[in-house]
Structure 1
Amino acid sequence: MLVSHGLNSTKLVRHQSSVTAASDDAPEEAPEGTYSEADHEHAVISTFDLFSIGIGPSSSHTVGPMRAGNIFVTDLQEAGLLQQVEKIHVSLYGSLALTGEGHMTPSALLLGLESADVETVDTAYVPERFEQIKKEKKLFIGQGLPEGKGKGKEIIFDYERDFRWQWGKKLALHSNGLRLTVFDKDGNMLATNDLFSVGGGFVVNGAMSTAATSTTTTESGSGELCSTHDEPTGRHPADLAENMYYKEIRRSDAAGDRRTGAEIRASDNSEAPTGLLGEEENGLVQSAVSGDVAAPRFEETQGPRYPFRDASSLLALCHKHNLTIAQLVYENEKSHGYTDEEIQEKIWRIWEVMDNSILEGVQAPVDETLPGSLKLHRRAPALYRRLTRGLYPSHTQSLSTTSPRSPLNSPRPIKSTTTTTSTTALARKEASGKRGPPRVHGSIAHPVMPSPLRRTTFPAMDHLSVYAMAVNETNAAGGRIVTAPTNGAAGIIPAVLKYTVEFLSDDVERDVPTFLLTAAALGMLYKRGATISAAEGGCMAEVGVACSMAAGAFAACMGASPETIEQAAEIGIEHNLGLTCDPIGGLVQAPCIERNALGAVKAISSANLALSSSGMQKVRLDDAIRAMRLTAKGMRNEFKETSLSGLATSVPFNIPVSVPDC
């Protein structure tokens, strides 16, 4: 939604869509939920939108806001307003305000306004540039746009004054809401945009456009826009906004059938447009973007070749056309306009980034702490060393001389904090140190004898745990990872796929595409039928969904039928229902990192249960997704990524979430 004022040309005004414009007094929960059983919107989106490359620590609080900033300045550029901007106000609402600082939302959003690309931005540059913006009080909006010139438009930006945390307020559509408002040199509002980060890096605009005339308004006391309409907000997001199912910055670049919003059109002068947002009360009118628009990447299509809306229709299509789930998704990707070569290239690029995020995590210094006030120590490097003890190259070589395999703009160069000599001494001490008698806690004179300490070994569980924790520690440090389907659960799918590739696969060229395409199909079902946003469904929407996706994908690589894959996915989500999202300190660290390790192990267990069963399960995947949706609706807001209850308030950690994290 782009709201424009004071343009010299004929103004374009947006009808109120079924999205209610930003309302500060919106109810905490819409009674209808966010899904309608009568909705016949298909579930198919691109695998490469569901699995997108981004930066940590959060897909909804970091990746989404950076993409939102890009969308906003692109709209300004296309409307011819960019060079008129002299001031910008940024406001965060709901979960974005409550946990945004610990999720690095401010730095991501401001770099998005400077048109940084979340897939390619140097992750080490993000915090550096953020500090520079705060110090110099300057922002160069749109400097990375293809049409931009040089540094973009330089404006004065005082972080303490212009970046606003709206604690206790929530916009109507979604808890992860943000509002961007720009003004000209005279203080007149030029444009405002309400955007919603709905999970997995997807960003939804708040309204659709139609034509009318505009008026000019000056900045109000707060410089913000409120809706005066009470339109219901409980419909499925597909009915509400045009970009629920794609991640392109420009609408024209998306596949034609996924542009669900109304087209921009001139109003009929004989009939006044209805439902204008706040037209009479505050004099604000909404303008569609105008000007030249880049040529679309996709031709208009009739939709995917094999559209499905739920698990039942997905299985029916597989049987009707004699295709595996992965094959069916592959054919749909071709409907999105990709060639065979492009599909393969994108699949292997995703796996490359996943694999590299594991490598980054296990090669990090053993004694390094993660960013944030928790001062949480990395655990994956030490666990990996113990897991690979006795293998070549030795730890003294691997940890002091190796570097990531591929130049993927890694989070930071891995620099060992110890010299080769000191590391060698440590290894020698570990290998030859004199062992004392085993420690025993308890009385040896008691009838129930105490057990001596023993080290358990479950190689599969150990590998899965290390892989998953490595990814999430990379994510927590702001590194480059793949949203799978979110950042908070980014370790589960890479861990299970890594284990499959390294220990089980007899054909990696077959199994990597099979795994990712199958997982993508399952993720599409959750995105359409429930949610992949922790702000809507707690951690079951992140770790629960990722566990389900990994379980089904693992079963597919084991040769399972579509029905068995469905059963594995159902088991994966069924036993994550009600899982809360209550991160300590608002950081994606505790319990998130360990929870990914358990999610990976649970995914393998779910798949094995399905593979060893008779296939006569009572609960279908569609039933479980429906149950997830109802559970999400019934959960209290305190357990939906707000850090207002649960572990976040039970652990003695006396730094309020709303206080900016250093």
Structure 2
Amino acid sequence: YAPDQVKQQQLDEVDSLDGEIKLGGIRKIKFTQNDIIFNKKKKLPYHPNGIKFYAYVNDKEVATRMYYSIGGGFVVTESNAKKNKVKTSKRKLTNEFSCAEELFTIAENRNLKISDVVLENEKCFRKEKTTKTELRRIWRIMQECVDRGLTTQGMLPGKINVERRAGIMYENFLKNNELDNQAFLDYSSICAIAVNEENAAMNRVVTAPTNGASGIIPATMMYINEYISDKPKNWEIKFLLTAGVIAMLYKMNASLSGSEVGCQGEVGVACSMAAGALTELVGGTLKQVENAAEIAMEHHLGLTCDPIGGYVQIPCIERNAIGVGKAINASRMAMLNDADTKISLDDVIKTMKATGEDMKSAYKETSLGGLAVNVTEC
């Protein structure tokens, strides 16, 4: 299956298999948790997030293959990882850019919004109608994910015994939110938790820009949908185009991988994406859009990735809820100020990369430092 075409029902079918998997979706073979070995003291040569498959026939090894998950939903083969290569296109874009300064200069010179610049580029690959249809589909899948998270209770899988909270929190929110002027913050936080509990349960989420940070973008969009009345037509398309290109800037010039730069490359980037896209939607200038994205990352610099027990549950789920609050706050701060700022988005992206390179591996998704070693697994 192509990742974006997998339906929740298909995931449920895979999850129902006990002691076996379907090889190629056809042939069942024996496979248990004991067949998976997490080697925390050794890493494969080209990226910290690597996996090596071994195939056996009658206890004889007949094939091996390595893959690397390099962040942002990208999975590459060993040969492409060796070349530091992700599938690219040689197609000429209407608006070529390699950094934030170039992107915002194009928009300013042509009197366009960032989402307009990106949509013109997308037309180089497919019809505009197709792009818009696919973006609406992404938004619909995000909404479905939030709905599942808000209506599902029980325990999350894994050894640390984490109970789902989004459903109970949402019930309490509905009882108490009418007179609370901070209700929008509660609502968006609960939506973020709902999505990340779905991710922790290995259900269908949208990688935005990673699975561990997948709650911030949909939660921000749910906030817009529910609480911002004066929004432009096709707002969801504009939001996703702007958020997506901000993620591209980090991908091109730093990293989206927690195993390379810590959680600043996941929750930090998602927060930056959401803040910039939200600011455009509420009428921010180009300067304010850049400033919001910069503020959001600036205050995630140095954020470690230290999941307890190796599960994307603690602190990851709550971290998304905090992240959406920071995104909204960064946007509101930027909208109150149109003066020149001291730090550019390119400056903070460069700093994030350098900070990640300086960070010890114990704090980069290995569960060998931070909360992962200071909190006893339940």
TM-score where L is the length of structure 2: 0.91
Aligned mate of 1:201, from 73, 81, 86: 73
Q: How far apart in 2 are the matches of 1:321 and 1:200?
A: 30
SS at match of 1:467: helix
- The match for 2:83 among 191, 215, 240 is 240
- Return closer, same or farther for 1:590/1:312 CA change in 2, 3 Å cut-off: same
Distance change in 2, residues 1:549/1:186 (3 Å): closer
Instruction: Give the drift of 1:163.
Output: 4.3
Helix, strand or coil at the partner of 1:648: helix
C-alpha deviation, 1:518, in angstroms: 0.5
2:282 aligned with 1:558: yes
Residues 93-129 of structure 1: per-residue CA shift (max 9 Å, x gap): xxxxxxxxxxxxxxxxxxxxxx585631422112222
User: 2:291, 2:344 within 8 Å by CA — same for their partners in 1?
Assistant: yes
TM-score (norm. length: structure 1): 0.54
Which structure 1 residue ranges, 5 or more long, are not aligned?
Answer: 1-114, 134-138, 144-150, 209-236, 247-254, 258-300, 393-454, 655-662
Describe the superposition over 1:275-316 as per-residue Cα deviations: whole angstroms up to 9, x where unpaired: xxxxxxxxxxxxxxxxxxxxxxxxxx3x32212111001011
CA–CA distance in 2 between the matches of 1:630 and 1:165?
28
Q: Equivalent residue for 2:105?
A: 316
Distance 1:256 1:617 in 2: 35
Number of residue pairs matched? 376
* Partner Cα distance (2:56, 2:163) in 1: 44
Structure 2 residue aligned with 1:348: 136
> Equivalent residues in 2 for 1:33-432 (5 A)?
117=3, 119-121=5-7, 122-129=10-17, 131-133=18-20, 140-143=22-25, 151=26, 154=27, 157=30, 159=32, 163-182=36-55, 189=62, 192-207=64-79, 240-242=83-85, 244=86, 246=87, 256-257=89-90, 301=91, 303-336=92-125, 338-365=126-153, 368-389=154-175
Return closer, same or farther for 1:155/1:373 CA change in 2, 3 Å cut-off.
Answer: closer
Distance 1:372 1:556, change over 3 A: same
CA, structure 1 residues 183+364, in 2 after alignment: closer, same or farther (shift >3 Å)?
Answer: closer
Find the residue that maps to 2:44 and give its secondary structure: coil
Give the residue type in structure 2 aligned to 1:323. Answer: L
1:180 match: secondary structure:
strand
Deviation at 1:194, TM superposition (A): 2.4
* DSSP 3-state at the match of 2:11: coil
Counterpart amino acid of 2:140?
A: E
Q: 1:167 to 1:585 in 2, by over 3 A?
A: closer
Q: 1:457 to 1:651 in 2, by over 3 A?
A: farther
SS at match of 2:342: coil
DSSP 3-state at the match of 1:481 = coil
Structure with the higher helix share, 1 or 2: 2
Supply the distance in 2 between the matched residues of 1:595 and 1:163 (Cα, whole angstroms). 28
Q: Say if 1:584 and 1:649, in contact at 8 Å, map to a contact too.
A: yes
Identity of aligned residues (%): 39
1:518–1:552 contact (8 Å) kept in structure 2: yes
Q: 2:372 aligns with which of 637, 645, 648?
A: 648
- Give me the whole-angstrom Cα distance separating, in 1, the residues matched to 2:168 and 2:340: 43
Highest Rg: 1 or 2? Answer: 1
Q: Is the 8 A contact 2:138 2:206 kept in 1?
A: yes
1:627 is aligned to 2:351: yes
- 1:206 and 1:241 in contact (8 A); partners too: no
Residue pair 2:156, 2:201 contacting (<8 A) in 1 also? yes
CA 183–357 in structure 1, closer or farther in 2 if over 3 Å, else same: closer
1:612 aligned residue (336, 347, 354): 336
Per the alignment, residue 445 of structure 1 pairs with: none
Q: Retained in 1: the 8 A contact 2:264–2:301?
A: yes
Residue 585 in structure 1 maps to residue 371 in structure 2: no
Q: Tell me the residue number matched to 2:291.
A: 567
Higher relative contact order (CA 8 A, sep 6+): 1
Kept in 1: contact 2:255–2:265 (CA 8 A): yes
> 2:158 is matched by which residue type in structure 1?
G
- Verify the 8 A CA contact 2:53 2:65 in the aligned structure 1: yes
- Tell me which amino acid in the other structure corresponds to 2:107: C
CA change 1:165–1:380 in 2 (3 A) is closer
Q: Give runs of aligned pairs for residues 8-47 of structure 1, distance below 5 A.
A: none
For 1:141, the aligned partner's letter is L
- Offset of 1:178 from its aligned partner? 1.6
8 Å contact 2:262–2:303 — kept in the other structure?
yes
Deviation at 1:459, TM superposition (A): 1.4
Deviation of 1:464 after TM superposition, in Å, equals 1.5
